[in-house]
Structure 1
Amino acid sequence: MSDPRDVVHISSLLASRLCHDLVNPVGALNTGLEVLDEEQDQEMRDHAMNLIRESTAKTVALLTFARTAFGASGSWNGHIDAGEAKELALGYYRHVKADLAWDMPPGPMDKPHARILLNLLLVAERCVPRAGSTVTAAPSEAGFTVTAKGPRAKLGDDLARALACDAADLEAKASPGYLAALIASAIGGAIDARAADEETVVFTATLPRQ
């Protein structure tokens, strides 16, 4: 990605993805506050307070997750404890339809590895849009796998291209996959994605130890 316009493009797409995810909870926060300003009925006020609490929790979870997955706090050097990465991922998955099964071992993870994992967890959830789905993170011999399993699981062409470091027609929803692929490539690794069957999509990250 030597062209500065490409850097701006991927940065803009990641920002768009984050804004897209935040629109609903922030909008709900605003709605709850408006109800508190205008409504005197206690039942409605209680409902508004519950909406504010849920929306605040979702907003904090999304921002905390993105700070490491996208941002400078997840830079190249150092480590992230697997327990911290797990909490970030669980915080995100509390607010989506899929469940998260975390089978990664405890201990420190190289920061690039952790960022790749978090971004793959982000795109894997989009591959299983139906309730009752599960996304599993598990170690492999040379890295880890992320498996998305559920009704109508699908690896979209846009995501497959993004994971192959192909930025042609890249969309915001697939940009975390592109970021994961760029990080993997930068450290001499690779990401493979395939539809194992009609209900399973498997992402395999092959990564060198730093």
Structure 2
Amino acid sequence: MNSHDLNKFAMGILIAMLGLIGFNLIAEEIFHQDPLTANAYPIDTSAVASATVATAAVEEGPSIAELMQTADAEKGAGVFRKCAACHTTENGGANKIGPNLWNVVGNDVGSNSSFGYSDAVLAVEGGWTYELLNRYLTKPKDAIPGNKMVFAGLKKGSDRANVIMYLRSFSDAPIELPTVAAVEEAVEEAVEAAAPEAM
């Protein structure tokens, strides 16, 4: 193949490429569509949002308020044996690896002045509510990241509720049990907050 043939071959490739580019430009002009600024058919997603919240509630199981209605302190004493190596419960009892738990339910987090809490626990504001105790006993490392407790947690909700009921008994004035109605109201508010405004 001589140089003349090579030039013809290169020219053919160049023309083909220019033709392809031109075809794409023409097709873009013919079939071009501006993006929609809004859905042509508005979709109400409030039912989906409500269903998602409801599904999450079912997956998580009964709330701690519901579990506390049937909790048993005596059964909690049995479950607490797992905790007794590190905690005492009597009024004025000594700290062990963990703090004494007298009057812990409802009391401020990290309030035992004779125990050296981690910075993570000391940074928590508020008290040991039923909800916080439930989360903490489920998985301490997730409930208060950075705390020193090495206990893995209690998987069964009934075990957690029973232990909390047992700990609640160690107080001169135990706090009131949570009401299911208040929890249901909070869930309804969460569903309403998750649902987008009607279009």
TM-score band w.r.t. shorter chain = under 0.3
Q: Which has the higher strand share?
A: 1
Greater RCO, 1 or 2 (C-alpha within 8 Å, sep 6+): 2
> Normalising by structure 2, what TM-score?
0.25
Greater Rg over alpha carbons, structure: 2
Q: TM-score, normalised by structure 1?
A: 0.24
